[in-house]
Amino acid sequence: MTENSPLASAQDVEKHFRTGKLEVPALRGVSIDVHEGDFLALVGPSGSGKTTMLNLFGALDRPTRGEVDVLGRRLSTMSKGERAKLRLSSIGFVFQAYNLVPVLTAAENVEFVLELQGVGAIDRRERALAVLRELGLAELADRRPNELSGGQQQRVAVARAIAARPRLVLADEPSANLDSKSAEQLMALMRTLHRAHGVTFVFSTHDPRVVAHATRVVTLHDGKVVGDEVQHRSDDGSAKVE
């Protein structure tokens, strides 16, 4: 991976899923480059291929045709184990359904990926608590998911995603289960993390509240890219598209 190469890249990618005897295309000739420092929204209606594209950038799947490169590695040349190591070391995930472990506290959920990375108990606890403090969750560190609101659970999920210091964070419909206030707080938080730590974010959404925070918007429709726009925010917070 050279200094100017994309952090993740899809080149003429197709992805098909088999349903019975039918092969259903989810992506049709998609090409997208994700650059270091992007705060990128993948938008489009349900079935447009947003989540499929996130799964490819997250090394959770491989394309049917075309090539996907992630952090300098080509997915088609990697084994399942190598892709798992790449995810563990360099990619954070924020899921629509939070995916917190119900029997673990907020701090323990944040520590989980660090433990998988082999970080020692004292160091991972310090890092987990530091991230929770940064996200305004220090007083909730010992609560389990069922003792937290939806917005708090999603913030814990973000804390878990960034605690391992990934270069790339992928968020699938992060605001889907949140009310307007919680969604706005979540996106403001992710923008702050993006600016403070230089983490590259790619999220899928059809929520205009989320799109308003993006600095780049890629639009998918029927598995094809139909738009790729840079978006700037003015002083009054409104979005401007170039």
Q: What is the pLDDT of residues 187-223, one digit of tens each?
A: 888 888 888 888 899 999 888 888 888 999 999 999 9
Per-residue confidence (pLDDT) for residue 1, from 0 to 100: 55
Q: What is the pLDDT of residues 18-28, one digit of tens each?
A: 887 888 899 99
**Domain range annotation of the chain:** 8-241
Per-residue confidence (pLDDT) for residue 235, from 0 to 100: 43
Residue 239 — very low, low, confident or very high, per pLDDT cuts 50/70/90? Answer: low
Top-tier CATH class for 8-241: alpha beta
What span, in angstroms and rounded, lies between the C-alpha atoms of 35 and 58?
15
Sign of CA dihedral 44, 46, 49, 53: positive
Token representation of residue 66: 């075309």
What span, in angstroms and rounded, lies between the C-alpha atoms of 119 and 116?
8
pTM of the predicted protein model: 0.87
